[in-house]
Amino acid sequence: MRCGLLVLPLLLMACTKDEATDYCKNHYRFHSQHIGKVARLRIELDVDGILSSELELPLAAIGSNSPDLASETTGLMGLLEDPGKVYSIQSLGSCETPTVNFGNKSSPAGNSLLAEYRSQCGNGNQVKQVDINLFEELPWLDEIETNVFTPATTKRFAISRQCDSAIFRLDPRAEDK
C-alpha cells in the first residue's frame, strides 16, 4: 500500500506539463526576453472616425534573417504600402483608402522601420474585429504585440506563431515577481 501511495504522485507529476514553462500560457515570463525582435502594431479609431495605425518592425528581427538589410528594408516598404497585407479591420462602416508614410523609430529596444497609416472611417464607426495579416507576408516574423484603441474599448495582446490564440497577459503581476 505504501509503495502505491508513492508511485501515484510520481505518475501525476510525469503527466502534468510544467505550468511555469508553458510559453503561451505564461508568456509574461518570456516577453521581456525577446521584446527587441517583436513587431508592434498600434491601431486607433477615434470618435471622429479617423483610423490611425502605426507598425514598428524592429531592425533586429529584419536583420537577423537578411544578409542585406538595406535591400530587405526597401522590399518591406513596398510590401507595407498595402495596409491590407499588415492588417484588416471589420467595422460597421467602410473606411477610405489610407495614406501611408514611412520612417524610422529609435527606442530602448532598438531601431525600427516605421509604417504609419491614416484613413477616414466615418463618424461613429465601430471596430468589430482586427485581423493581423502580416504573418502571411513575413515568414521570419515570430510575434506581433498589438494595441487597439477605440472610444468603446482598449485591448493589448500579442500574436505569436508558437501559440494557437492571442496572448493577453504580457506583463507579470506583482505577485509573479
Question: Can you tell me the distance from the alpha carbon of 83 to that of 76, in angstroms, rounded to the nearest whole number?
Answer: 12
What is the pTM for the complete model shown? 0.79
Specify the pairing of strand 99-107 against strand 110-120.
antiparallel
Report the 10 Å Cβ neighbour count for 22. Answer: 13
Cβ proximity of 62 and 72 under 8 Å: yes
Beta bridge partners of 99: 118
User: What residue spans define the domains of the chain?
Assistant: 24-176
Question: Can you tell me the distance from the alpha carbon of 131 to that of 13, in angstroms, rounded to the nearest whole number?
Answer: 39
Q: Where are the beta strands (DSSP E) in 22-142?
A: 39-45, 50-58, 87-91, 99-107, 110-120, 127-132
Return the residue matching grid coordinates 502605426.
54
The tens place of each residue's pLDDT in the chain, 177 residues long, gives 444 444 444 444 444 455 567 778 877 776 666 677 889 999 999 999 999 999 999 887 776 555 566 677 778 888 999 999 999 989 898 999 999 999 888 877 778 889 999 999 999 888 888 899 998 988 888 899 999 999 989 999 999 988 899 888 887 776 665
Question: Can you tell me the distance from the alpha carbon of 30 to that of 143, in angstroms, rounded to the nearest whole number?
Answer: 12
